[in-house]
Amino acid sequence: MSYYIGVDGGGTKTAYALFDEKKNIIAMVKGPGSNHENMEGSFDEAADIIWDGIKSLIKEAGISLHDVEYTLMGLAGIDHQFQHDEMVKRLLDYGLENFEIYNDGFIVIKAGSTGSAAIGYNCGTGTCCNAIDNDGKMLQLAGLGEFSGDEGNGHWIAMRTFRAIYDDVYLGLRKTALTKMCYDEYSLKCKEDFLALVSRFEDDDADKFIMRLIDFFFDAARLGDSVVLDIIDEMATRGASLIAAHLNTLNFTDDVVEVVLSGSIHTKLPSDIYINALMNKAVSLTGRRLKFIKLSQPPVTGCINWILQQKAKKGD
């Protein structure tokens, strides 16, 4: 029996799965986020978390690490070669062998696509757009926040929602249904009460506040709110541009190119108005036949798919 480990490391949580050669999940554990960019201890702290998670997984399965043939990780924050090398160095020091690390956006492709080449577009806590072409070449776009103009993720939508209300109540610009939703939800009496809400982006319940702003956003979209629809047009245009850049840069030879959509904005929220706009703009911009796939499998399953594809290619 051959065993393989897959690791899906995000900013808020990390999933560890032990697979057999038939892709069955033998054991699975979850732990805290492992993105070094979010930690004071950087790579050292992130490596500690990953190593502890792997040890917990092995203990849960009742096997030895020596029973594991290969480990593949998709980790948020591994965007450049030096980041990859720093993390590899630390895990080698712990004694981990036979493993590889990629950005977590790439395992999304392997989890959702039906072939070896596809584009993956993720909008969750953050934004990234990754691709693997028919030659096996890999490219990551976005993922650097403001520096790469990332749009469409949860934090971006929450900020744009807050700004739209601010522009309404403070600048007297365009009216939006978002204002009444927010005022009713938080029993606001005046614009100063609204402004005080900005502190909630930093408090212990920030995630809940951000999620409510996102809810307002998509509720207003369904009402046909013109302010929100314009924001949706902007984020769909940006996403389509990322997809088009991959198709223009890499070598996709299939008649139909698969685009795997992942992250909570794409898969868990009532965002069909946005997704339809994204699909239409991407097709129009690229002139290619595209098949959009909402990821329904845990991203960590992309690790075992990738491992077994590599083994098949090598003839193992």
- Residues 150-167 pLDDT 10s: 999 999 999 999 999 999
pLDDT value, residue 316 = 59
Residue 49 has pLDDT above 90, yes or no: yes
Residue 80 has pLDDT above 90, yes or no: no
pTM of the model: 0.91
Residue 207 has pLDDT above 70, yes or no: yes
Q: Can you name the residues that pair with 29 across neighbouring β-strands? A: 16
| Out of 56-70, 71-85, 110-124, 302-316, least confident range | 302-316
Both tokens assigned to 99: 């493993």
Q: Can you name the residues that pair with 258 across neighbouring β-strands? A: 291
pLDDT value, residue 9 = 94
* pLDDT average, residue stretch 165-179: 98
